[in-house]
Amino acid sequence: MLESNDNRKMALRRLLQTGAIALAVLALWAIAMLGGAGDGGDSSTPYPAGVQDGRDGIARKRDDGVIRVGLTMDTLQEERWIKDQELFGDAVEALGAEYIAMTADSDDAKQIEQAETLIGMGVDVLVIVPHDAEVMATVVNKAHAAGIKVLSYDRLVRNADVDLYVSFDNERVGELMAEAITKLAPRGKYVFIGGADTDYNAHLVKKGVFNVLQPYIDRGEITVVFDQWTPNWLPANARDNMRVALDANDGRIDAVIAGNDGTAGGAIEALAEWGLAGRIPVAGQDAELAAAQRIVAGTQTMTVYKPIRQLAEVAAELAVAMAKGETPRADRLVNNGMIDVPSVLLTPIAVDAANIDETIIADGFHSREEVYGPAAP
C-alpha cells in the first residue's frame, strides 16, 4: 500500500533532522516526489524537480505557491536545542508552511554543506543557528544570490547582511546572572567560565556579566581570578576549566558564573571534588532540567529562563512573513560587525529556588515531578 503524502512528509522531516548530507540527497528526491509531476524539472539540471536553474549556476526558488522554511542547526547535544527544533517546526507547519531541518553536529563544514543543500532545494527562507558565527557569513551571501531571505535564530551570524535576528536579549541574560550572584557574594574571588568563543551569544552574555561586575572590580571588591571560554560549550571542558581555577587558587573561590547550564553543571562537578558544591553560588542559563534539579537541591544558585516556545513561535511567524515578501517587524538593531541587523529580542527571566514554581513549572517547561522528583511537594 502506498503511503499518504502526510506520512511521507513526516518521514522526510525525521530523515532530514538527522543532519546527514547523504540523507539530504534522498530528501531532494522525496521532495520532488511530493511535489508531483508537472513541476517543470529538467533531468539535466543539478537541482531537484521544481527548483529552476537561472542558467547562471544559481538555484531558483520553487514557483508552486508552497512556502518552505529550511533550518540548519548547530547541535542537538543540549536539551534546549531539541526543544527549539521541535517547537519551531511545529509553529512553521501550523502556519501552513513546509519545514525542513538539518543538524550539523558542531561541524562548520557540515553546516555549510547543509545550508547549500537547503538553498539548492529552493527554500523560501533559510534559518540559521550557527556553530561558528563568522564562518556562516558565506552562506548568507549564497542565500541572497538565490533570492532567499536569511533569519538568524538565537545566535547572530557575524559580518553578513542578515535579514533578521530573533533571540533573547543575551546581554541582559548576563546581567541577570551577575546581579543574582553579586547579591550573595558582593566581595571575593570570582570565576567566569564562558561559552564557546565561536558563538557570538557567548560574547554578549559575557558583556552583560561584566556590565554588572566592573563597578565591583573597580572598587577592589571583586577579583576575577579565572576567565576562560569553553570549547563547543561542552560540560567536560567547563569541568576541566573549573579544576584549573580551583587548583590555581587552592580552592579559595567565592562565586562562579558559567556561560550556560551545561557549563555550570561541569563547574559544579569540579566543585564537588573539592567538597564545595552547594557552598559557592553558581549561575547558569537556559533553565535545563538538570539545572532546575540542581537549584532545588541547592548546588546551583540560579538559571535564566528563556521561554523557548515564545522564541520559536515568534521566529516562525516572522520567517513565514518574510517568505511572503512582507517586511519583518523589528524592535531594535543589533550590529553584527558589518550592518545593524533588524532584530527582535525577547525578555529573559531570572529563576532561583524562590520562583521556580511560578516560572518554568507554571509554564509547563518542566513538570513539578521532573524538577522535584517523585516525592514532589
The reply to whether 126 and 234 lie within a common domain is no
Percent residues over pLDDT 70 in the chain: 82
The reply to whether 100 and 137 lie within a common domain is yes
Query: Looking at residue 127, which CATH number applies to its domain?
Result: 3.40.50.2300
> Measured between alpha carbons, how far is 260 from 314 in angstroms, rounded to an integer?
23
pLDDT in tens, 116-168: 999 999 999 999 999 988 999 999 999 999 999 999 999 899 999 999 999 99
The reply to whether 140 and 224 lie within a common domain is no
Q: Which ranges of 95-165 does DSSP label H, i.e. alpha helix? A: 108-120, 137-145
Residue 377, domain member (yes or no): no
The reply to whether 364 and 281 lie within a common domain is yes
Look up the domain containing 290 and give its range.
170-306+349-372
The reply to whether 20 and 145 lie within a common domain is yes
Task: Give exposure, 29-63, as e/b (b: 16+ Cβ within 10 Å).
Answer: ebbbeebeeebebeeeeebbbbbbeeeeeebbbbe
Residue 51, domain member (yes or no): yes
The reply to whether 180 and 125 lie within a common domain is no
The reply to whether 353 and 316 lie within a common domain is no
The reply to whether 127 and 188 lie within a common domain is no
Residue 203, domain member (yes or no): yes
The reply to whether 53 and 94 lie within a common domain is yes
Q: Which ranges of the chain does DSSP label H, i.e. alpha helix? A: 5-16, 21-35, 79-94, 108-120, 137-145, 170-184, 200-218, 235-248, 261-273, 289-297, 308-323, 368-372
Residue 48, domain member (yes or no): yes
pLDDT in tens, 179-203: 999 999 999 999 999 999 988 889 9
The reply to whether 223 and 358 lie within a common domain is yes
The reply to whether 354 and 338 lie within a common domain is no
CA distances from 44 to 9, 40, 48 (A): 26, 12, 10
> Measured between alpha carbons, how far is 305 from 327 in angstroms, rounded to an integer?
29
The reply to whether 255 and 315 lie within a common domain is no
State the Cα angle at 200 between 196 and 205, rounded to 5°. 80
Residue 315, domain member (yes or no): yes
| Confidence category of residue 263, pLDDT binned at 50, 70, 90 | very high
Domains of the chain: total: 2
